[in-house]
Chains A and B, each alone.
Chain A
Amino acid sequence: MFFSFAVRNLRRHWIRSALSIIGIVIGVVAIASLGIMGNSINLLVANIITDVGDTVVITPHTAIGGTFAGDPRTAVDAAIPAREVEEIRRAVNPHRTIRVLQGADEVEFGRGESGYTQIVGLASDDIPILLELAEGQYPRQNQPGALVGTYLAAEYDIAPGSSLTIGNESIRVAGVLEERGFAADINPDYAIVVPDDWYESHFGTNDAYPMVIVRVGDVEQIDAVKDAIENRINRREDIVDVFDSRDMLRQYEEIYQQITAFLVGIGGISLIVAAVNILNVMYISVTERIREIGVMRSLGALRREVLRMFLYEATILGLIGSIIGGIASAVSGYLISLAAVEVFTAGTTFGENFTVFDQSAVGFIVFGMAFGIGTSIAAGFYPAWIASQLAPVDAMRQK
């Protein structure tokens, strides 16, 4: 009875109702699709980041320490002196210490193509521990050979056996690396990896290393290893920053969770605007029907029945808006995410086999819809309450 009343009243002012519904649709779509997008970015990052869970990464301490590997603010030309590296090696014994040399140089790829490329120098016997080959073989001791990152190889059509010119020096390509993704330690997908002796003879040596990696066989011992390094090297002053890959994953997760929260927050604001609109519409509806409410009350409609009638109106608006919004956000969230994935993974294979809709994307849609219905009811409650509290005699006196 009161439900059909509510429906009729919404139909009587269908333009007003439609506008309120549009407001809710926009709000729900904003929340849900931005949520889905944030979530997709999250998933994608999780997909790209190589989980090297047993790795501790040591970098020289910079003014802005303790953030994450690759924080642009830490990109200063600093290195850990060989003396300290030796200290680290002793501290973490028997775990393996890997010294990483990193630089960049002009590289000729053949056929007149060249570019500035990152060069990573690693001890020959450390290379197989860190990196996997897609094709070719690891460079052997005393026999210089380069390993090329998979994207670089794909871009310049490089295969084992071809040769590159780094600076003015020619070097044979021994192998192409497996796609590694974004890792806590080194990111060789777009780089060239060479043995450290070749690196040092090419770039000259200054007995310092921009990064040291410690491979800890057992994840349980990571904290002990980190403590050992801190105690040994950083006792008097901070010389190095020590991370493990779990820290970095945590930090990335935090960052992306914040992005998601931020996006959802923007959506929430638009839904609040929609809620104010509903409040306004419902308030007008109550005001212009005061007399009618008075008549209904005098005929025997209870306060809670009047309250219910107006809440039905708000709920119907919220429900229709949320359903349309849910469908629309499933579509738009999918498209936005596809676009985002496209941008984020341009030139890589990480976007392949990537599903946009997982459980939490559906969760965002459900959350958006629930939020839409919830705010509608909340916004409708105050006008409904006012309507129900009117004294019938006073209400009927209104013209």
Chain B
Amino acid sequence: MNGEPILRFEDVTKIYPLPAGDVVALDHVSLTVDAGEFIAVMGPSGSGKSTLLNMMGCLDVPTTGKIYLSGQEISRMGDDDLTRLRRDRIGFVFQQFNLIPLLSAVENVEFPLVLTTGREESRRRAIEVLRMMHLDDALFSHRPGELSGGEQQRVAIARALVNDPDLLLCDEPTGNLDSKTGTAIMDLLAEENREGKTIVMVTHDPNVAAYARRTVQIVDGRLA
């Protein structure tokens, strides 16, 4: 990695123009995420946590300022290039799990891989990652609707990890789970981080944030 951080925000501002007046979601934010970090982003709702996470995940581009992903500037990229970065370099875990209902568990996991890789290789890798998530083999062919919340989130994490991303982004990963299941999921994430995965996680739960090794507070679009 040559000491180059995974992610570098340089004076990033994001303004959403609304009819009632512009909303400043991020206000001159500068931030660095180094390889191997586990960061929790905390803050009240509306503080700009999600906007920050979306920009880290190449889902959105800043109004002003620069963002570098592994040294590559992404703040002025077009949609296709951003999409390819999401596909190859980023893993997402959502609060709502966001599995594709038409696909079985294993098909959901292989989805990001099938976009670029052969079907057999993708399937092999998907099964490998699902087993790492301690999901029962019998559930692989089940549709998301047939799985419990915890099982769905394991599938979702497997999907996020299947392309071996540089950066794993989690948006309230335990927000829709009971505390016992949530703890199991957090243990999985912590395990991934111990093995070297860089993780940025948005949460407002201090118990969840405690798993992270660094916590960033954000209030009104500014880092505190």
Question: Once the chains are docked, how many angstroms separate the CA of A30 from the CA of B83?
Answer: 45
Q: In the complex, are the beta carbons of A298 and B115 less than 8 A apart?
A: no
Q: Which of A243-296 contact B (CB under 8 A)?
A: 291-292, 295-296
Q: Which of B137-178 contact A (CB under 8 A)?
A: 159, 163
In the bound complex, residues from chain B placing their C-beta under 8 Å from that of A296 are 100, 111
Q: Report the count of interface residues on B (CB-CB < 8 A).
A: 25
Q: Which of B58-115 contact A (CB under 8 A)?
A: 59-60, 79-80, 83-84, 86-88, 92, 94, 98-102, 111-112, 114-115
Select from chain A the residue with minimum beta-carbon distance to B101. Answer: A292
Q: In the complex, are the beta carbons of B60 and A393 less than 8 A apart?
A: yes
In the bound complex, residues from chain B placing their C-beta under 8 Å from that of A302 are 80, 83-84
Question: Once the chains are docked, how many angstroms separate the CA of A296 from the CA of B112?
Answer: 8
Stretch from A5-13, A115-123, A144-152, A195-203 contacting the other chain: A5-13
Q: In the complex, are the beta carbons of B102 and A1 less than 8 A apart?
A: no
* Contacts between the two chains (Cβ within 8 Å), count: 53
Q: In the complex, are the beta carbons of A299 and B102 less than 8 A apart?
A: no
In the bound complex, residues from chain B placing their C-beta under 8 Å from that of A396 are 94, 98
Q: Does B57 lie at the interface of the complex (its beta carbon under 8 Å from any beta carbon of A)?
A: yes
Q: In the complex, are the beta carbons of A300 and B102 less than 8 A apart?
A: no
In the bound complex, residues from chain B placing their C-beta under 8 Å from that of A1 are 114-115, 119
In the bound complex, residues from chain A placing their C-beta under 8 Å from that of B112 are 299-300
Which A residues fall within an 8 A CB radius of B? Answer: 1, 5, 8-9, 12, 291-292, 295-303, 305, 392-393, 396
- 28 inter-chain pairs at a CB distance below 8 angstroms, sorted by A residue, are A5-B102, A9-B102, A291-B98, A292-B101, A295-B98, A295-B99, A295-B100, A296-B111, A297-B83, A298-B59, A298-B92, A298-B98, A299-B92, A299-B111, A299-B159, A300-B84, A300-B86, A300-B87, A300-B88, A300-B163, A301-B87, A301-B115, A302-B83, A303-B80, A392-B59, A393-B54, A393-B59, A396-B98
Q: 18 extra interchain contacts, Cβ-Cβ under 8 A, other than A295-B100, A301-B115?
A: A1-B115, A9-B102, A292-B102, A295-B94, A295-B98, A298-B86, A298-B92, A299-B87, A299-B92, A299-B112, A301-B87, A302-B80, A303-B79, A303-B80, A303-B83, A392-B59, A393-B60, A396-B98
Which B residues fall within an 8 A CB radius of A? Answer: 54, 57, 59-60, 79-80, 83-84, 86-88, 92, 94, 98-102, 111-112, 114-115, 119, 159, 163
